[in-house]
């Protein structure tokens, strides 16, 4: 009899723990992302883009869990330039893209329960591999000099390959669906390796070091494809 009681209590606690745990699993994610490049050395305007990736959500607590992300993000940048006549400033389309690995902590104010909406704050860090700034097809790059330093296309291809930073926002969901609304701030100088045509007689770069950092607003929906 005692063994049956203990077995019943164990089964009850196990069932309760399943529904009190924050949701876990592998999620397929996609959504809106817009990265801005803040710089006084390269005049740009950001346009809406997208991201897609995989989110692994893990943890055994009812109030919080951990989220590991592998994502690809892309959006266009309008980069200001002048032609060799220097008569008029125009815009050329460039592509900003990166592949990111992120680790975030989700804390649920409204706890996840079966058939109920849950939501809470989210914060974490990321590391990105940044693709070189790439012009759109058909750009007449031989006669375009990007403001304000009159940079050439080949100069912009030397943009820094890695970025890192932190992000914060809101996360939540309902059953197998989740959402993430986030603001991310990059801490690396992504224009650090871009050089002007300024060298000494010994072919030593005489500066300056250009400055440019990123910030991203993103919103995405993910679906649990593997529990």
Q: What is the pLDDT of residues 82-125, one digit of tens each?
A: 998 888 899 999 999 999 999 999 999 998 877 789 999 999 99
Amino acid 116: pLDDT: 84
Give percent of the chain above pLDDT 90: 64
| Sign of the torsion angle spanned by Cα atoms 151, 152, 158, 164 | positive
Amino acid 7: pLDDT: 52
CATH of domain 2-226: 2.40.160.20
Amino acid 17: pLDDT: 42
- Tell me what the mean pLDDT of segment 192-204 comes to: 86
- Spell out the domain ranges in the chain: 2-226
Q: 124 and 107 in contact (C-beta within 8 Å)?
A: no
25 vs 11: which has the higher pLDDT: 25
Q: Which residues contact 42 (CB under 8 A, 6 or more apart)?
A: 79, 146, 147, 149, 151, 156, 191, 194, 210, 212
Q: How far apart are the first and last CA of the chain?
A: 36
- Cut 0.75: pTM above it: yes
In the predicted model, is pLDDT for residue 146 greater than 50? Answer: yes
């Amino acid at each position: 009899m005692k063994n049956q009681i203990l077995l019943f209590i164990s089964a009850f606690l196990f069932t309760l723990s399943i529904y009190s745990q924050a949701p876990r699993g592998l999620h397929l994610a996609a959504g809106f992302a817009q990265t801005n490049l803040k710089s006084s050395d390269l005049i740009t305007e950001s346009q809406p883009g997208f991201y897609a990736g995989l989110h692994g959500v893990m943890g055994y607590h009812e109030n919080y869990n951990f989220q590991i992300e592998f994502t690809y993000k892309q959006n266009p940048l309008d980069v200001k330039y002048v032609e060799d006549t220097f008569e008029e400033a125009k815009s050329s389309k460039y592509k900003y893209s990166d592949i990111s690995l992120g680790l975030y902590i989700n804390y649920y104010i409204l706890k996840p329960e079966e058939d109920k909406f849950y939501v809470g704050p989210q914060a974490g860090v990321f590391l990105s591999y940044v693709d070189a700034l790439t012009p759109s097809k058909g750009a007449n790059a031989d006669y375009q000099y990007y403001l304000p330093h009159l940079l050439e296309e080949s100069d912009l291809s030397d943009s820094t390959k890695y970025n890192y930073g932190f992000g914060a926002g809101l996360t939540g969901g309902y059953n197998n669906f989740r959402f993430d609304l986030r603001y991310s701030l990059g801490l690396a100088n992504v224009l650090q390796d871009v050089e002007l045509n300024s060298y000494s007689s010994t072919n030593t770069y005489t500066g300056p070091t250009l400055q440019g950092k990123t910030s991203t607003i993103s919103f995405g929906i993910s679906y649990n494809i593997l529990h």
